[in-house]
Amino acid sequence: MENYDIPPVQVALDLLDLPRAIEIAKEAVLGGVTWIEAGTPLIKSEGMNAIRKLRENFPNLTIVADMKTMDAGSTEVEMAAKAGADVILILGVGPDSMIKEAVLAGKKYGVLVGTDLIATYDPVERAYELEKLGVDIINIHVGLDQQVLNIDPVELVKKVSERCKHAKIAAAGGLNSETAVKAYEAGADIIIVGGPLYKSESPEKTARDIITSLKTGKPISTSKFKKFNEKELLDAFKIVSTSNISDAMHRTGEMRGLKPVVDFKKPLKFAGPAVTVRTYAGDWSKPVSAIDVCSAGDVLVIDNCGSEISCWGGLATLSCKTKGIVAVIVDGAVRDVEEILKIGIPVFSKSITPTAGEPKGFGEINSAILCAGRTVEPGDWIIGDENGIIVVPKKDAMEIANRAIDVKEREDRVKEEINRGNTLGKVIRLKDWELKK
Ligand SMILES: O=C(CO)[C@H](O)[C@H](O)COP(=O)(O)O
């Protein structure tokens, strides 16, 4: 293996399809990546052939097999080593007897054995034990399903590198050109980068940026491949479409059966926390009172029991403008379409009618409601665009926002491959992934 003045950058190919993975790896290598990892999804999809092909394509680079082994340590190290891997990653949470077997097999076949600390109860102490068991690399890894909760590995890298004096330290989990250098400074000897490289329209440029940041010690800011925290949810939801969010929510979340009162000549995009109202057929008292409860940036969501008598119109919409309310959703009817269009605040309703109801004052503000088939709690995120409206429960909002961004970033890479002259069916290997039951 090579000598480095900065830590090697390892591209983790967490893809399902070998030709795409090889192409992306080649691009990342042009940008300076020297360690090529067959990610666990690639290994599960393509087997040891993934390792063989990576070895064939990159004879002089370090090939890593992320086996995530939990049992049969010796067998799994042997098979990956014989397929051409230089480094084999197993799970540190596995039993000591498995780790010992893997380490012995590593010595027998002349490969390095690394342990992934994912899901370990006390990662710093486990890292110390793993080092004593003879592993060559300790991988501080925040997994894909943990990163969406805005956890990053840097703090732990520091603690583990202070505790372990012999093993090399690898860091993985959402590292990009802004954060890789922080992991390096915290003590990482190997920088593992997956999504930011395999989702990039230019893995070469992304790799180069990461390596430059490591060489100069200066983070290179990026608008992509970031994870958003609770305070950044509006920014996050503005980046993605409701289609991305729907995918991230496994197709749940959509409000159904609403018609937009919007000018489709202008781009339509809003996101904000819900203020909820429940009232009864055409009763417009509580909907109008709720405007005063709203803050700028809120979305007013009204359950009017699907009534065909209007509980909302032009004057109420105008009041929303003064308050900075970004959209109004009515499970019921609205009127004054021409005024609403002129005011420009998006309004969605079940129907449109000239007939208004009465302000009787029934109902509640900011209780859980049912609107267009979805339960909405006060503070849940409501996101709308030309495709429709999605409700994201407040408690899951950060996770869903980050997962939706991941969906978008993966699609961006697929678009890039289509723009290079491929077809969608070929890029995603549609035939291979049809249900075979
Ligand atoms: O092992 C992995 C997933 O289990 C990934 O390879 C690792 O998390 C690096 O990818 P990313 O940079 O996208 O987090």
Q: Closest Cα to residue 156, out of 171, 134, 175, 144?
A: 171
Q: What is the mean pLDDT of the chain?
A: 96
In terms of domains, do 223 and 242 share one? Answer: no
Residue 3 pLDDT: 46
Q: Which pLDDT does position 234 carry in this prediction?
A: 98
- pLDDT class of 4 with cuts at 50, 70, 90: low
- Centre of ligand 1 to C-alpha 414, Å, is 19
Rounded to the nearest angstrom, the distance between the alpha carbon of 173 and the centre of ligand 1 is: 5
For ligand 1, the distance from its centroid to the CA atom of residue 116, given in whole angstroms, is 11
Are residues 73 and 207 both part of a single domain?
Answer: yes
In this structure, is residue 320 part of a structural domain?
A: yes
Whether 335 is covered by a domain: the verdict is: yes
Q: Which DSSP category does 8 fall into?
A: P
| Measured distance CA(241)–CA(411) in Å, rounded | 12
Q: What is the CATH number of the domain that holds 20?
A: 3.20.20.70
ipTM of this predicted structure: 0.98
Does residue 262 lie in a domain region?
A: yes
Residue 398 has pLDDT above 70, yes or no: yes
What's the pLDDT tens digit per position in 291-319? 999 999 999 999 999 999 999 999 999 99
Tens of pLDDT, residues 213-259: 999 999 999 988 999 999 999 999 999 999 999 999 999 999 999 99
Residue 167 lies in a domain: yes
Last residue of a domain, one of 204, 227, 250: 227
CA–CA distance, 404 with 148 (Å, rounded to integer): 10
pTM for the model? 0.95
Q: Which CATH number does the domain housing residue 317 bear?
A: 3.50.30.40
- At position 393, the amino acid (one-letter code) is P
What is the domain extent for residue 338?
233-399
Q: Name 121's Cβ contacts closer than 8 Å, sequence gap at least 6.
A: 93
φ/ψ region of 379 (left if φ > 0, alpha if ψ in -120 to 50, else beta) reads left
Cα pseudo-dihedral 36, 38, 41, 46, rounded to 10: 140
Same domain, 138 and 220: yes
66 lines ligand 1 (CB under 6 A): yes
- Asked if residue 87 is part of any domain, the answer here is yes
Question: What percentage of the chain has pLDDT greater than the value 90?
Answer: 96
Give 272 Cα–ligand 1 centroid separation in angstroms: 31
Residues 119 and 258 in one domain: no
Question: What per-residue confidence (pLDDT) applies to 125?
Answer: 98
Closest listed residue to residue 280, CA positions, set 369, 148, 149, 374? 369
Same domain (yes/no): 175, 316: no
Task: Let me know the angle formed at the C-alpha of 312 by 347 and 342, rounded to the nearest 5 degrees.
Answer: 50
Q: Which atom, in ligand 1's list, is nearest to the CA of 12? A: 6
Residues 272, 240 share a domain: yes
Query: Within this chain, do residues 349 and 259 fall inside the same structural domain, yes or no?
Result: yes
Same structural domain, 221 and 239: no
Residue 138 shares a structural domain with residue 256: no
Q: Which of the residue ranges 101-105, 262-266, 398-402 would you say has the lowest mean pLDDT?
A: 262-266
Could you tell me if the CB of 144 is within 6 A of ligand 1? Answer: yes
Q: Work out the burial of residue 231: count CB atoms within 10 Å of its CB; fewer than 13 is exposed, 13-18 middle, 19 or more buried.
A: exposed
Any residues with CB less than 8 A from the CB of 69 and at least 6 apart, and which? 76, 77, 88, 89, 90, 91, 94, 98, 102
Domain assignment present for 325: yes
Q: Is the CB of 366 under 6 A from ligand 1?
A: no
Give residue 5's pLDDT band: very low, low, confident or very high (50, 70, 90). confident
- pLDDT tens string 331-378: 999 999 999 999 999 999 999 999 999 999 999 999 999 999 999 999
Total of domains in the chain: 2
Residues 6+ away with beta carbon under 8 Å from 145: none
Q: Is residue 119 part of a domain?
A: yes
The secondary structure of the chain in percent helix, strand, coil, rounded to multiples of 5, reads 40, 20, 35
3-state secondary structure of 377: coil
How far, in Å, are 76, 261, 283, 379, 383 from residue 278 at the CA level?
59, 21, 10, 15, 20
141 forms bridges with which residues in the sheet? 172
Same domain, 249 and 354: yes
Query: For residue range 75-125, what is the model confidence (pLDDT) as tens digits?
Result: 999 999 999 999 999 999 999 999 999 999 999 999 999 999 999 999 999
Calculate the CA 400 to chain-centre distance: 8
Task: Say yes or no: 116 and 206 in one domain.
Answer: yes
> Looking at the predicted structure, is the pLDDT value of residue 159 above 80?
yes
Ligand 1 atom 14: the closest Cα is on which residue? 173
In a domain, 421, yes or no: no
Question: Does residue 39 sit in the same domain as residue 101?
Answer: yes
- Specify the 3-state DSSP secondary structure of 323: helix
- Ligand 1 centroid distance, CA of 371 (Å): 38
